Structure 1
Amino acid sequence: MEYLDFELPIKELEEQLDKCMVIGEESDIDVTDTCKQIEKKLVQTKKDIYKNLTAWQRVQLSRHPSRPYTLDYINALTEGTFLELHGDRSVKDDKAMIGGLGKIGDQSFMFVGQQKGYNTKTRQYRNFGMANPEGYRKALRLMKSAEKFGIPVVSFVDTPGAYPGIEAEERGQGEAIARNIMEMTRLKVPIIVIIVGEGASGGALGIGVGDKVLMLENTWYSVISPESCSSILWRSWEYKEQAAEALKLTAPDMKKLHLIDSIIKEPLGGAHSDREKTFATVRDSILTHFEELKKLSPKDLVNQRMDKYSNMGVYKD
């Protein structure tokens, strides 16, 4: 297991606990009390660290290499019923954007989301989760198909941003994202959006418009990454921690600003520390919100969604 810098005290205690257990197994010395003391200290240390995370530490957790990605969530939620669909019917199949049909229980959903890789080879294959225009057009094609058949949409957001290459701009990156935003505001089926990792810039917004927008506890959602913000304002990445605080990009910040609807609690230590518990929590959140949304007519869904986004940024002195 990989540890982040601020998790090193946890690593030390876990190594001490492992050594203590090995000594107990390989000798006649009773180390039960010692192991219990270390376990107790380990639990308390985890609570102290994870209950007081800074914005930058949450950004680090959202990028943890062991953290579940979009396909992990979809496969766990659908229990083998997921049918992936490919292509935008125009250019090609973008591997950074995945989508398809699947069931949670007896209810069918259309799933879309950005997919990152697990190692160097798959990260290159998935373009590090940065979709091209054809990825956003594929997502829109699938969402329009879901609308045609009355199937609700679940969108998983996890991207450092849309692909910024010249070829992406030549093929209409900005137009593709803008069109997705426009079309999603008036889609006549429920849309549930979940930020499961990084939610950066227009790359996230391209599949991020929904009736309910949820964030896992240790994720971030912002117009720009802390590193890029730091490089623009201070001409250096050294101020990324200060930038992260200023951007107000954490789940509690987003909830306080009324830019998201709910925060999904993660297990102590992050989503990667107990994947099964995380999947179960996400599943319950999806079904709970869907039960609320399915009572609305298509017209009410669209009107409510339009009002929600129209009211963002409006305030009174």
Structure 2
Amino acid sequence: MMTYLDFEKEIEQLDKNLDALKNPYESEGISSINQDKITDLQSTIDRKIIEIYSNLNSWQKTKVARHEKRPRSDYYIKNIFQNFQLISGDRYYAEDESVITGFAKLDNMSVLVIGQEKGYDTESRIKRNFGMMRPEGYRKCMRLMKTADKFNIPIISFIDTPGAYPGKGAEERGQAEAIASSIDCCLSLNVPTISIIIGEGGSGGAIALATSNKVLMLEHSIYSVISPEGCASILWKDVSKSNEAAEAMKITAQDLFKFNIIDEIIKEPTGGAHRDPIGCANSIKSSLLKYLEFYNNRNDINIRADRKEKFMKIGKDLPADISFGKFNKDEIIQMSKNKKIILISFLIITILGLLFYLS
């Protein structure tokens, strides 16, 4: 059953009308199948989908990136690679099922595949921790990346996470250290690494596995240091401003490609990857083969130095007058002043309390 987003109401109604034409005996007043009407209505639906999806704003793209029917890493692994061999555990603490890891064949080439996995229903989402990796997940990935490096095997990672898991246990087991070490590990590899952001690329939880030679994004995916809701909560203390935050943060594939932060936008099927998962999988496979062939034929490239240079250059090419959206300068200045007033008041109260206690 198709799940419709709030900006797809027209499409939803047209689909209902199409279902009525295809199942005439369940609809009052319709007693036969009219193939011409079905064809015309299907054409109308296709045009409407193209019209809507050609004009999505950043917040709408965020909703598409989080769509509950959007294909996950597990789907792409099954439909792009052959002979996938799952490998589990970090050899220190436990298995983290929010990330799928293993070796596979891409056509005739051996690759290491890493995929952050959110799950599809309540049971699988709980099992996968909604795609939020724990320290043991990052350490498992590092273990396998070092193995792949040893045997000269390229690494492919699918990124889809709202962020690293912020729970108490994860912090106690060194979440920040695990993320930092994973980034360092990615930068030190001597084999080609390719990352594809297939849904959400959330903060350090994503960059820990996306520090790659080539970073690709699906057309309707997002990549950011914080969620739009989180940004709105911090800047405006109002989550209803998430739409404005999404626009200002430049989180879409189109914005990030323009700023040279990513290397390619992989076009999705009309209406998003959830409407044609296998078509999207084929597009991803074509891009992967293209870049793997590129590195196979270029012995003159220092892969490790190339990767480091790529990330060191980020931000250097941005124009000086770039605008990052609808942030109200006066509003932010006032918020900063308010924070200073609160801090000063807190310090005064603390000092007075100490003086009272000592007296």
The normalised TM-score by structure 2 is 0.85
Identity fraction in percent: 44
Question: Where does 1:86-105 land on structure 2 (aligned, <5 Å)?
Answer: 86-105=88-107
Residue 17 (str. 1) matches residue 27 (str. 2): no
What amino acid sits opposite 1:275 in the alignment?
Answer: P
Question: Where does 1:52-71 land on structure 2 (aligned, <5 Å)?
Answer: 52-71=55-74
Query: Retained in 2: the 8 A contact 1:157–1:199?
Result: yes
Three-state SS of the structure 2 residue aligned to 1:199 is strand
Corresponding residue number in structure 2 for 1:6: 7
* 1:48-67 deviations in Å (ceiling 9; x for gaps): 10100111111111111111
Residue 223 (str. 1) matches residue 225 (str. 2): yes
Corresponding residue number in structure 2 for 1:240: 242
Query: Retained in 2: the 8 A contact 1:190–1:294?
Result: no
Hey, what's the Cα distance between the residues in 1 that align with 2:77 and 2:243?
Answer: 32
Residue 291 (str. 1) matches residue 293 (str. 2): yes
Question: Where does 1:37-52 land on structure 2 (aligned, <5 Å)?
Answer: 37-52=40-55
Query: Retained in 1: the 8 A contact 2:99–2:116?
Result: yes
Structure number with greater Rg is: 2
Hey, what's the Cα distance between the residues in 2 that align with 1:96 and 1:178?
Answer: 18
Moved more, 224-233 or 113-122: 113-122
Moved more, 111-120 or 152-161: 111-120
Query: Retained in 1: the 8 A contact 2:61–2:222?
Result: yes
Hey, what's the Cα distance between the residues in 2 that align with 1:287 and 1:244?
Answer: 32
Three-state SS of the structure 2 residue aligned to 1:47 is helix
Question: Where does 1:233-312 land on structure 2 (aligned, <5 Å)?
Answer: 233-297=235-299, 300-312=302-314
CA drift of 1:34 comes to 2.8
Hey, what's the Cα distance between the residues in 1 that align with 2:295 and 2:116?
Answer: 24
* 1:22-47 deviations in Å (ceiling 9; x for gaps): 33999665733333332222111111
Structure 2 unmatched ranges of 5 or more: 321-359
What amino acid sits opposite 2:4 in the alignment?
Answer: Y
Query: Retained in 2: the 8 A contact 1:251–1:263?
Result: yes
Query: Retained in 2: the 8 A contact 1:24–1:30?
Result: no
Hey, what's the Cα distance between the residues in 2 that align with 1:68 and 1:35?
Answer: 28
Corresponding residue number in structure 2 for 1:214: 216
Question: Where does 1:51-200 land on structure 2 (aligned, <5 Å)?
Answer: 51-79=54-82, 81-200=83-202
| Structure with bigger RCO (C-alpha 8 Å, 6+ apart) | 1
What amino acid sits opposite 2:218 in the alignment?
Answer: L
Query: Retained in 2: the 8 A contact 1:109–1:151?
Result: yes
Using a 3 Å threshold, how does the CA distance of structure 1 residues 290 and 40 change in structure 2: closer, same or farther?
same
Hey, what's the Cα distance between the residues in 1 that align with 2:300 and 2:81?
Answer: 25
CA drift of 1:98 comes to 1.5
CA drift of 1:234 comes to 1.4
Corresponding residue number in structure 2 for 1:32: 35
User: What CA RMSD, in Å, does the superposition of the two structures yield over aligned residues?
Assistant: 1.7
Hey, what's the Cα distance between the residues in 2 that align with 1:152 and 1:196?
Answer: 19
Hey, what's the Cα distance between the residues in 1 that align with 2:161 and 2:195?
Answer: 14
Three-state SS of the structure 2 residue aligned to 1:82 is strand
CA drift of 1:18 comes to 1.6
Hey, what's the Cα distance between the residues in 2 that align with 1:173 and 1:24?
Answer: 58
Corresponding residue number in structure 1 for 2:328: none
CA drift of 1:86 comes to 0.6
Structure 1 unmatched ranges of 5 or more: none
Hey, what's the Cα distance between the residues in 1 that align with 2:228 and 2:84?
Answer: 35
Moved more, 148-157 or 15-24: 15-24
Moved more, 31-40 or 273-282: 31-40
CA drift of 1:19 comes to 1.1
Hey, what's the Cα distance between the residues in 2 that align with 1:122 and 1:215?
Answer: 25
